[in-house]
Amino acid sequence: MIRINLLGTPKAKARHLPKITMSAPSLRMLSILLIAIAFGGVYFLYWRAQKQHEKIQVELSDADKQLRALAGVKAAFTQKQKEVDALKQKFTIIDQLRANQSGPVQLLNAITQTVNSTDAVWLIKMSDDGKSVSVDGTALSTTAVANLISNLKKAGYFKNIELKETFQDDTVKEYQAFTFTLVCEKQPS
């Protein structure tokens, strides 16, 4: 095969590197020097790894000390949190007791004011079952019972007032008396 160079550039000559020749003693010295450098490098890497290991062990020991200290703090915090929760529960119970304590007083005040403002009505018995109040009483007329129901509605303490029964009391001979029973449903607080 024939090659023709159409570009006209001359062909580059191959360069020859000079040959280095060494004698046997200098080759041994170079080998020993390379082995010593390799051992030195390995020893340096080992020394550095050992220092890192010691540093990590110290950090691990410090972290363990911190962990034990924080565990004590966590236990103290948990204990204090339980005490706070117990106090909150006690305060809630006290507030509920105070609210329940004032409930009957408000009920009695509402009924007392209503009965006092209604003529010819006397209460005989009253019972509270929590959601509703049952009132037994005597009135001189059915109009007085109707006025009592109207005044109880105006008081705003009761949501629904129902006349359970009313009848004329035959045991009273001197005047006309009506015995009645009302069931009053309380307003939600």
pLDDT (0 to 100) of residue 101: 72
pLDDT (0 to 100) of residue 66: 93
Q: Which residues of the chain have pLDDT under 70?
A: 1-24, 102-103, 189
Among 104, 105, 110, 102, residue whose Cα is nearest residue 152: 110
pLDDT (0 to 100) of residue 189: 64
pLDDT (0 to 100) of residue 112: 86
Q: Token digits for 166?
A: 């009313």
Q: Are 134 and 182 in contact (CB under 8 A)?
A: yes
